[in-house]
Amino acid sequence: MLLAQKRIQVDSIIASDPKQLIGPFNTVTLDNQIVQQQSAHYIMLHKPVGVVSATKDDIHQTALDLINTDAYANLHIAGRLDLNTSGLLLLTNDGKWSRALSNPDSEIKKTYLVELENPLCSDYISAFANGMYFSYEDITTKPVHLTIISERVAQVELTQGRYHQIKRMFGRFRNPVTSLHRVSIGDLVLCNNLAPGQYRELTIAELALFR
Ligand code: URA
């Protein structure tokens, strides 16, 4: 009825097809009054250690507590980091985008800098590349690329994200992780200018890295 009367517009175009799909970021008006309008936001946050990757928490400060939610409503986290891990965390209000990013089959590479209590040796490289069996999940981890940066610092590239995966993998060598920092997700690198706790919107070029 409303369609036949040409009273509904989607993104300023009169809607006539009852099967037209409306997404969360289409602007919909009825009699020129807005009934739905929301912009998509994609944010990179430099997550500090001690901040929980959640929208609500009774004990710890959350990633969302760091964001001005007057400017950015309905954000959620796209891919968690542990409480004591710092680095690149993405937030968005676009559920389709975050689902694609967190889909285990997408195999998007995530790069971490890891500091360890004890010295590394070349055995780590092959053990990480060969995968490790996690009995709790009954899986063998996918090949992980490990580069030794210095005696106690490694760079690790994961294409999956099992619970505490990096700490558990170094745990096999009885080598505790003393610091864990996510540097990049896919080709998107955490901006150097963002101090821990700071954030900014992704640029169009950065967003295109995920398409
Ligand atoms: N592996 C971990 O152990 N912790 C993280 O936060 C990410 C990967």
Ligand 1 mean position, distance from CA 55 (Å): 19
Model pLDDT for residues 89-133, shown as the tens digit of each residue: 999 999 999 999 987 778 899 999 999 999 999 999 999 999 999
Cα within 13 Å of Cα(118), Cβ side: 9
The two tokens of residue 188 are 């998107």
Give the nearest ligand 1 atom to 182 CA. Answer: 7
pTM over 0.75: yes
d(CA 125, CA 106): 24
Among candidate residues 45, 33, 47, the one with its CA nearest the CA of residue 72: 45
What is the best residue among 109, 112, 170, 190 to mutate for testing ligand 1's pocket, by most ligand atoms within 8 Å of CB? 112
Q: Which domains does the chain possess?
A: 1-38 (3.10.290.10), 42-104+191-208 (3.30.70.580), 109-185 (3.30.70.1560)
* Known catalytic residue at 82: yes
Between 16 and 173, whose confidence is greater? Answer: 173
The backbone torsions φ and ψ at residue 182, rounded to the nearest 5 degrees and listed phi first, read -90, 125
Confidence at 198, pLDDT banded by 50, 70, 90? very high
Q: Given this model, what pLDDT does residue 37 score?
A: 83
Of 78, 66, 37, the C-alpha closest to 200 is 66
The widest CA-to-CA distance across the chain, in whole angstroms, is: 74
Query: pLDDT-derived band of residue 188, with 50, 70 and 90 as boundaries?
Result: very high
